Amino acid sequence: MLDKSSNERKPSRDSVSINERIKFPKIRLIDIAGEQLGIFTPKEALNLAQQEGLDLILVSDKSDPPVCRILDYGKYKFTQEKRAREARKKQHTVTVKEVKMRYKIDEHDYKVRVNQATKFLHSGDKVKVTVNFRGREIQHSNLAIDLLNRLANDLNKLADIQQKPLKDGRNIIMLLSPKKIEN
């Protein structure tokens, strides 16, 4: 973001310290080729950067003295954003998929729910299994817990129980997570 009237950059909230915004008494300077030039005052380092038509960028303020590089700020910002995009691509977000059923489920329907849960677990998602009740069916919650334990037993090669069957109003919920693959 160059100001048209001068060669100064406008400050932004999340940007790194560049050029005149570097406020340390001494800094370690690295040139564009990656060679250490030595320890300078920020003013001297800024003069060197401006002679080459580049910017002075604070790379590390944690070291003593802080480290600055002479770089093209636009190019530096682009590479930082590119690295962040690559890191986000490699990141895997775990989603929770839900499988719903009733405690009076038929055998074929039960197998369909097991296959759904298996598919979700193979894709790396967590599975929330919900057994819901209507009316006075809540009296048979022990049958629903038995059904959930049977499901967990059928999926024990693929999943670990993250949350045991738990009553939640008119539902009983169990959470399964995929097993860690050992190399």
20 pLDDT higher than 90: no
SS3 181: coil
Nearest to 71 by CA among 134, 24, 29: 29
Q: Which residue has the tokens 């564009």?
A: 32
Residue 37 lies in a domain: yes
Residue 154 maps to which CATH number?
A: 3.30.110.10
Structure tokens at 39: 């320890």
| 45: confidence class by pLDDT, cuts 50, 70, 90 | confident
How many CA atoms are closer than 13 Å to the CA of 127, on its beta-carbon side? 28
Contact 63, 22 (CB under 8 A): no
16 pLDDT higher than 80: no
Shared-domain flag, residues 101 and 64: no
- Give residue-wise pLDDT tens across range 99-157: 999 989 999 999 999 999 999 999 889 999 999 999 888 888 899 999 999 999 999 99
- Give residue-wise pLDDT tens across range 142-178: 999 999 999 999 999 989 999 999 998 899 999 999 9
Shared-domain flag, residues 64 and 117: no
Residue 9 lies in a domain: no
Shared-domain flag, residues 83 and 102: no
Shared-domain flag, residues 75 and 110: no
Helix locations, 21-173, DSSP H: 42-51, 73-90, 107-122, 141-154
Q: Note down the domain range covering 131.
A: 96-178
Residue 31 lies in a domain: yes
φ, ψ dihedrals at 129, nearest 5°: -100, 125
| 3: confidence class by pLDDT, cuts 50, 70, 90 | very low
What is the C-alpha separation between 156 and 143, in angstroms, rounded? 20
Contact 175, 165 (CB under 8 A): no
Shared-domain flag, residues 148 and 83: no
Nearest to 176 by CA among 132, 113, 134: 113
Region for residue 166 given its phi and psi (left: phi exceeds 0; alpha: psi -120 to 50; beta: otherwise): beta
